[in-house]
């Protein structure tokens, strides 16, 4: 009854562990991070650098992930931030001056944007203060262009005309006759801006107080638009133009899956995009600008061995894969149980074989005992004694199972073989005595049946 209960308990535990293994694997497979089947990217206005980079990124993600990737046109950085915070998009281009929304983090810096203050070549405007009261286009209130224009207007005390409230996309050019200037912050490789400037109909105003503005607004840097950037033949611009710059960023939600972040970074730092988008930051440049507010997957991607981050990443991986760890423990337990079962079966099979050998030894001892009854010659007795002793030694060397050593049949064999040895030794002793005292042969002759 005890053995039956033990076997039942073992089977129940094995079934429970198998069920736990299957459940843990199912949970791990169901909760592990996966690449979304559809990826939506918030770009920007048509013809802008945001939109241009987003389209290139979408093409690379389609190729590498086989997912459906969609780029939507927006009013710019602020609009993108709201779309990302509300969960309507997976990735969004955001200017450095735009604060991140709740639950959103930076994936990577992508390129440096430069403020362009554009006027007609034949305009009488020579400095920014000359724009006071003029009709200026600077993008819609949801764009980074508008936000940067407000900073510049405030610093120089410029108040645009009332007509400037009729915002439009900067790239809806050429400028209308009543528009005096346009303010645009974008990459130096922006297709729309490059097409506009290479026409030769426009020129750029320098921001003479760029360092002062950058001092008051820490997201700005001071940079130059190189001479001849837009046209070497026409020397546009004819001299380096001092201006403000800041970093455009790609952002995602805080809970964006790691496979999406890794695939995005692979695309951004891949050879094709680095070659075809001038000014795109390299991986080494991105590593130098990494900040605590970045997405955890970006930290792990750019700085996989950065001290404590490595430990944190390891612990995070353990936490994310706890179901898999439980499954592995269950698998190891089942494997150990199976190993023990096989060992037990092998032990039983070995015990069975040794019992069969024991039966052979017992039968052989009985045969030797029968031979003793028919043996009278001293030499035959000695040979019989030798065979009995060798049989004992052979049995003791072969029969080594602990369970067998305590078996009743094994005890009978030992007693039987020892008894046979004593009988033979007594016979031999009697033979010696008769040889020494022949006259006592009749009295000393042992009974053959003894």
Report helix, strand and coil shares of the chain as percent, to nearest 5: 55, 15, 30
The pLDDT assigned to 314 comes to 63
Question: Looking at residue 3, what is its pLDDT?
Answer: 44
User: Is 364 in the same domain as 241?
Assistant: no
Tokens 């891949």 correspond to what residue?
A: 270
> Distance from first CA to last CA of the chain, Å, rounded?
48
Q: How many domains are there within the chain?
A: 2
Residue 187 CA to residue 116 CA, distance in Å, equals 10
Structure tokens at 288: 């130098």
Let me know if residue 450 belongs to a domain. no
Residues 131 and 220 in one domain: yes
Give Cα 113 distance to the centre of its chain. Answer: 34
Are both 294 and 377 inside the same structural domain?
A: no
Is residue 130 located within the same domain as residue 205?
A: yes
Q: Of 301, 320, 339, which residue is a domain's last?
A: 320
**Cα 295 from Cα 178, distance rounded (Å):** 46
pLDDT for position 106: 93
Q: What pLDDT is stored for residue 157 in this prediction? A: 94
The verdict on residue 17 lying in a domain is: no
**10 lies in a domain?**
no
Rounded to whole angstroms, how far apart are CA atoms 19 and 26? 11
Distance CA 400, CA 20 (A): 40
272 and 230 within one domain: yes
Please check whether residues 205 and 169 belong to one and the same domain: yes
| Residues 368, 225 share a domain | no
Q: Where does a domain end: 320, 337, 370?
A: 320
232 in the same domain as 372: no
Low-confidence residues of the chain: pLDDT under 70: 1-10, 24-32, 142, 164-176, 306-322, 401-406, 438-450
The SS3 of residue 153 is helix
Evaluate whether residue 87 is within a structural domain: yes
CA distance 151 to 11: 75
Q: How many CB atoms lie within 10 A of CB 146?
A: 20
- Residues 300, 401, single domain; the answer is no
- Please indicate, yes or no, if residue 192 is contained in any of the structural domains: yes
**Residue 136 shares a structural domain with residue 283:** yes
**359 found inside a domain:** yes
Q: What is the CATH number of the domain that holds 117?
A: 3.40.190.10
Q: Does the residue 23 lie in any domain?
A: no
11, part of any domain:
no
In the block, residue with structure tokens 């190729």 = 63
> What is the span of the domain harbouring residue 380?
347-444
Same domain, yes or no: 269 and 379: no
Q: At residue 66, what are phi and psi to the nearest 5 degrees?
A: 65, 15
Q: What CA dihedral angle connects 125, 126, 132 and 136, to 10 degrees? A: 60
Q: Which contiguous run of DSSP H or E holds residue 164?
A: none
Of 89, 107, 75, 104, which Cα lies nearest the Cα of 42? Answer: 89
Spatial contact of 268 and 250, defined as CB atoms under 8 Å apart: yes
In this structure, are 83 and 47 located in the same domain?
A: yes
């Amino acid at each position: 009854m005890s053995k039956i209960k033990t076997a039942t308990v073992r089977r129940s535990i094995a079934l429970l562990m198998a069920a736990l293994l299957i459940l843990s694997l199912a949970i791990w497979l169901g909760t592990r991070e996966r690449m979304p089947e559809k990826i939506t990217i918030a770009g920007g206005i048509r013809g802008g650098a945001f939109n241009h980079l987003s389209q290139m990124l979408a093409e690379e993600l389609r190729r590498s992930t086989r997912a459906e990737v969609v780029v939507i046109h927006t009013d710019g950085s602020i609009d993108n931030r709201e779309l990302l915070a509300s969960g309507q998009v997976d990735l969004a281009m955001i200017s450095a001056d735009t604060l991140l929304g709740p639950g959103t983090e930076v994936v990577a810096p992508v390129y440096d944007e430069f403020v362009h203050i554009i006027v007609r070549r034949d305009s009488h405007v020579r400095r920014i203060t000359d724009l006071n009261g003029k009709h200026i286009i600077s993008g819609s209130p949801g764009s980074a262009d508008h936000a940067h224009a407000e900073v510049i207007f405030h610093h120089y005390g410029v108040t645009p005309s009332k007509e400037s409230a009729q915002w439009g996309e900067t790239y809806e050019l050429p400028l209308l006759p009543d528009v005096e200037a346009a303010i645009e912050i974008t990459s130096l490789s922006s297709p729309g801006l490059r097409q506009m400037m290479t026409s030769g109909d426009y020129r750029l105003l320098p921001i003479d107080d760029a360092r002062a503005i950058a001092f008051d607004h820490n997201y700005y840097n001071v940079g130059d638009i190189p001479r001849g950037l837009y046209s070497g033949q026409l020397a546009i611009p004819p001299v380096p133009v001092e201006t403000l710059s800041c970093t455009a960023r790609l952002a995602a939600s805080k809970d964006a899956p790691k496979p999406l972040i890794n695939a995005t970074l692979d695309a951004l730092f891949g050879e094709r995009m680095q070659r075809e988008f001038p000014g795109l930051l390299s991986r080494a440049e991105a590593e130098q600008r990494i900040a605590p507010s970045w997405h955890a997957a970006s930290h792990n991607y750019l700085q996989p061995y950065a001290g404590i981050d490595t430990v944190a990443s390891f612990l995070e991986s353990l936490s994310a894969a706890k179901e898999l760890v439980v499954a592995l423990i269950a698998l190891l337990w089942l494997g150990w149980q199976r190993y023990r079962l096989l060992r037990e079966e092998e032990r039983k099979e070995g015990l069975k074989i040794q019992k069969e050998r024991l039966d052979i030894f017992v039968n052989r001892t009985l045969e030797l005992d029968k031979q003793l009854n028919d043996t009278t010659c001293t030499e035959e007795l000695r040979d019989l004694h030798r065979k009995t002793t060798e049989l004992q030694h052979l049995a003791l060397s072969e029969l080594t199972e602990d369970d067998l050593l305590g078996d009743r049949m094994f005890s009978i064999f030992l007693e039987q073989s020892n008894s046979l040895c004593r009988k033979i030794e007594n016979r031999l002793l009697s033979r010696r005595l008769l040889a020494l005292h022949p006259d006592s042969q009749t009295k000393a002759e042992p009974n053959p049946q003894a």
